């Protein structure tokens, strides 16, 4: 009994540690897994060089047109070329950022592309991914950017780099097409983003829950195996008792 409890405890402990740590046998050691999730947010005002939002001479129709353009800018932000600029600004490898396009009353769900297509394996990688979720305000030309990263510092850097990277891309595109600076879209960040951990203490909690789960699972498996073995043993004993006794000398030839 004590051996069974000790075995279940060791199995549960090893399994729980493997959820929070990368266990190496050669050489022996433990390396903490990245389970932390941090987030940061910032807002972007899409405006004209001579601010349409501040100019009282402009009517609401012009503001609505700029609001529609903000939705367009939000979709451009989620494209692969802009994400490359953002990754360069944030100091990240190419292709690591996953972005969600803006959702509006006409398009309540984000469009799925080859870059943001969801996979089952994303559940195992969700804590070490870099994500950008873009929301468009339906009444004013403002985009809200939500960034997710493995640390608070990285989340803040990603949100701020998204604005700078978008501005770099738009400027390069405008210069390449020869657009007059007075006719270009102006992208202004409304406040610096600061990251914050949103699942603090998850490593300890996950280890504790995993230990309980694997302990009871291994104990249930051990009890099941013990009962099966006991059932087979009882069946063999019954078969032995029910077998007729062989007569003495039945296997000898008569003289």
**Domain boundaries along the sequence of the chain:** 2-33+201-238, 38-197
Report CA Rg, the chain.
Answer: 32
175's tokens: 């210069």
Per-residue pLDDT 10s for the chain (255 aa) are 555 667 777 776 666 666 666 666 666 665 655 567 889 999 999 988 877 766 666 666 677 888 889 999 999 999 999 999 999 999 999 999 999 988 765 555 555 544 445 554 444 445 558 999 999 988 889 999 999 998 889 999 999 999 999 999 999 999 999 988 888 888 999 989 988 887 665 556 666 677 677 777 777 877 777 777 777 777 776 767 666 655 555 555 544
Tell me the C-alpha distance between 220 and 223, whole Å: 5
CB 161 within 8 A of CB 77: no
Tell me the C-alpha distance between 14 and 204, whole Å: 14
Cross-strand partners of 40: 147
* Chain-centroid distance, C-alpha 29: 26
31's tokens: 């390396």
């Amino acid at each position: 009994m004590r051996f069974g409890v000790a075995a279940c405890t060791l199995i549960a402990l090893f399994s729980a540690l493997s959820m929070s740590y990368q266990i190496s046998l050669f050489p022996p050691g433990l390396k903490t897994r990245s389970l932390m999730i941090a987030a940061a947010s910032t807002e972007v005002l899409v405006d004209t060089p001579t601010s349409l939002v501040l100019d009282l001479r402009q009517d609401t129709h012009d503001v609505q047109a700029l609001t529609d353009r903000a939705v367009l800018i939000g979709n451009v932000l989620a494209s692969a070329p802009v994400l490359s600029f953002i990754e360069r600004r944030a100091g990240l490898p190419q292709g690591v950022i996953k972005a969600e396009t803006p959702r509006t009353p006409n398009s309540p769900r984000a469009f799925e592309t080859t870059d943001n297509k969801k996979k089952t394996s994303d559940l195992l990688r969700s804590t070490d991914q870099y994500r950008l979720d873009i929301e468009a305000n339906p009444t004013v030309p403002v985009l809200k950017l939500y960034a997710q990263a493995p640390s608070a510092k990285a989340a803040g850097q990603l949100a701020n780099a998204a604005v700078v990277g978008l501005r770099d891309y738009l400027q390069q595109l405008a210069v390449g097409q020869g657009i007059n600076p007075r006719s270009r879209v102006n992208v202004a960040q409304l406040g610096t983003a600061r990251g914050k951990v949103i699942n603090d203490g998850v490593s300890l909690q996950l280890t504790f829950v995993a230990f309980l789960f694997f302990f009871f699972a291994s104990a249930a498996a051990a009890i099941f195996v013990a009962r099966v073995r006991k059932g087979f043993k009882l069946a063999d004993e019954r078969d032995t008792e029910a077998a007729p006794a062989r007569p003495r000398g039945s296997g000898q030839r008569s003289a």
